[in-house]
Structure 1
């Protein structure tokens, strides 16, 4: 979103028009809406601005629920914004540690700052980009205990603050068509500044879930979070925001609530064993936190192969931390023989999962020339170092 577009949007006419639009449905529906708005006499720039926001509000619902309909967004800001459910957990850390004056350095559109303010904490949200800071101001307007500054995070006077939350920008500058930054020194604020700040006050830091683990400071509690099976972030906690004795945590949030596995350090992998009747695929948060060994021991399971995140056991143990599959058959690894085996079983719809093998599932699915009314799940991986093809069926949701 450009500054001129935001000016159009924030006019009384713009906000009234935005709130009057029906829920965004599809790009095809936009043509009709544009025609109706232009016939009503609205300027092209204003029409483009409100329809862009209507589309972003629809996309924001999975992250912000019913609040999305009362917020403003930028493309990049929405992409990097914390889900409201996760932001509430962040805010709970600060409230639980009695850290009442919090500065949010790199606030983006204000998702985390909203959660902090909702906890009755005094929040100052800071963003270097003028448009983003203005959007954050709009989103935080209902909270009298929230202030927004358009400033560089590294230049803000931190006197009087109890703690800081930081979500460094990990994409190039701009509001659309940005690209991911690969070097931490290019983040804004830089990781050197971020980690240096922990010497002054308790801090929490949000980074991508695939961030280089070698860069995690030894005094951090590192927590990987997945929502409905999707890995969404790694959060680092320092000082009084970190829990005693915990350095690695995997937090899973789903429709059935939250589940956490934590440890004082990376867990040692379980031994490799023979393929049993059940195969377990750990949640991404468990894998990133390197708690596969602890999970295996809780299931009385073994690794299927060294350094591959599949577990196996002779019996089923229900757990929220992994998806379980019943092993039906071991099929040929050779592609021609595999195709014949699947044809014999009349499998026309096939889910292909793979780990530890160089296979493109989409390409392989085409080459297998699947036909038939049956469906199945194929796991391509290694067992004790050797390639295997396993026909499995998913066990009903575990709890």
Structure 2
């Protein structure tokens, strides 16, 4: 809800019929939904808040499933909120090592709810009174015991375990510099050192130079979408790097040092594209070893092997032909094969796939994937079909 004050939140919480009416109006009347609520005698500000909530709940289902229908959201809070499947898994890891947790920068309370559902005693803190009110509303809606207070994360005493999800947005948009998080990463890490078992959620684009010595850095993807990074601190750090993938509701993990390099060789019968979490965690070499594969250029994360190995950590293609990376030649070769539907992937070439697609002027009823990449000292295009 955009800048909804706590009085409107309380009014919405108290009126389940209004929540249902707004959801039905939005679903049935679309852009005319505000008029529908006005005709029903609902005050304009309350109607706007109810419709915004209905809209956010609809979008939140991708993260929270049916739970979203009972929860309360702000737009910014929903954007940063952890997916339930990720929060639930993280809470289970905490619950195996601690009995209570301090949740700093709790936002709408997603992590706090997951911690409480896992049996932990939870003290949640947020700097914003409005945001804290939403966290309380969500705890009550879910029937979970969560204590929510307003306070400064850096001044909050920590329990034996702690979690933090610093704000990565400002009025200018998303912050990619951890020094501009709220609170900034370095002082937050220093504060969290007082907890025996701790974790800190970060944006997935975090650079490895920000990973403190002795920490575990984990990247998480859900159905091939890299959704976050997480630093595990103190007793929580188990391995240097971890890639955790959730596919169709099932979790898979790959761990390693993040410092190994895969062997380099030639294009082979199969091309593997590692999951983004594997790439960001620097675990391509560990995956290559599992697959009996190699790269064709040291710094490009495509793997090649003559064996087809089923793995949750990568997609596999049958490499059918290798062509020079010249747009005019590619246009003719694709036309000869009647390929009119083409997925274009690229790494290491600097080519814009959208611009290349216009040059190719594709026609025909066949479908394929074209991988633009480097092979040794040359650029090449590999015609593939998913294995």
Pair in the same fold by TM > 0.5: yes
Is 1:326 aligned to residue 321 of structure 2?
A: no
Note closer, same or farther for the CA distance 1:320–1:2 as it changes in structure 2 (3 Å cut). closer
Number of residue pairs matched by the alignment: 384
Could you say if the C-alpha distance between residues 53 and 4 of structure 1 is closer, same or farther in structure 2, counting changes exceeding 3 Å?
A: closer
The question of 1:166 aligning with 2:161 is answered: no
1:131-146 maps to which residues of 2 (within 5 A)? 131-141=130-140, 142-143=142-143, 145-146=145-146
* Structure 1 CA distance for aligned equivalents of residues 23 and 3 of structure 2: 25
CA contact (8 A) 1:168 1:188 kept: yes
Contact 2:2 2:75 in 1 (8 A): no
Unpaired runs of at least 5, structure 1? none
Output the CA distance in 2 between the equivalents of 1:381 and 1:220. Answer: 33
- Cα 1:320–1:23 change in 2 (3 A) is farther
Compared with structure 1, are the counterparts of its residues 113 and 4 closer, same or farther at alpha carbon in structure 2 (3 Å cutoff)?
A: closer
CA distance in 1, matches of 2:25, 2:285: 46
Aligned partner of 1:154 in structure 2 is 154
Other-structure match for 1:84: 84
Using the TM superposition, give the Cα deviation of residue 4 of structure 1 relative to its aligned residue in structure 2, in angstroms: 4.9
1:261 is paired with a residue of what secondary structure?
strand
How far, CA to CA, are the matches of 1:39 and 1:268 in structure 2? 66
2:274–2:301 contact (8 Å) kept in structure 1: yes
- In the alignment, the residues of structure 2 paired with residue 11 and residue 54 of structure 1 have an alpha-carbon distance, to the nearest angstrom, of 15
Cα contact 2:2–2:74 (8 A) shared by 1 = no
The separation in 2 between residues aligned to 1:96 and 1:81, in whole angstroms, is 23
Cα RMSD over matched residues? Answer: 1.8
Greater mean deviation of Cα atoms: 34-43 or 278-287: 34-43
Matched, 1:262 2:255: yes
Aligned partner of 1:16 in structure 2 is 17
Q: Tell me by how many angstroms 1:35 deviates.
A: 2.1
**What runs of 5+ residues in structure 2 fail to find an aligned partner?**
none
Residue 210 of structure 2 is aligned to residue 248 of structure 1: no
Partner of 1:297: 289
TM-score (norm 1): 0.92
Q: Does 1:350 align with 2:342?
A: yes
Assess if the C-alpha contact under 8 Å between 1:306 and 1:385 holds in 2. Answer: no
Q: 1:65 to 1:58 in 2, by over 3 A?
A: same
CA distance change for structure 1 residues 23 and 351 in 2, over 3 Å: closer, same or farther?
farther
CA deviations over 1:212-241 (Å, ceiling 9, x no partner)? 111101111111111001111111111222
- Alpha-carbon distance between aligned partners in 2 of 1:118 and 1:294, rounded to the nearest angstrom: 34
**Per-residue Cα deviation, 1:350-395 (whole angstroms, up to 9, x for no partner):** 1100000111111211221111111111100111131001110011
Q: How far has the Cα of 1:267 moved from its partner?
A: 4.0
What's the counterpart of residue 232 of structure 2? Answer: 237
Note the alpha carbon deviations across 1:117-141, whole angstroms, 9 max, x for none: 1012111111111221111110012
Q: Which residue of 2 aligns with 1:180?
A: 174
Aligned residue number for residue 375 of structure 2? 383
Any idea what the Cα deviations from partners look like across 1:244-295, whole Å, max 9, x if unmatched? xx111111111161111112x2142122111111100001111111111111
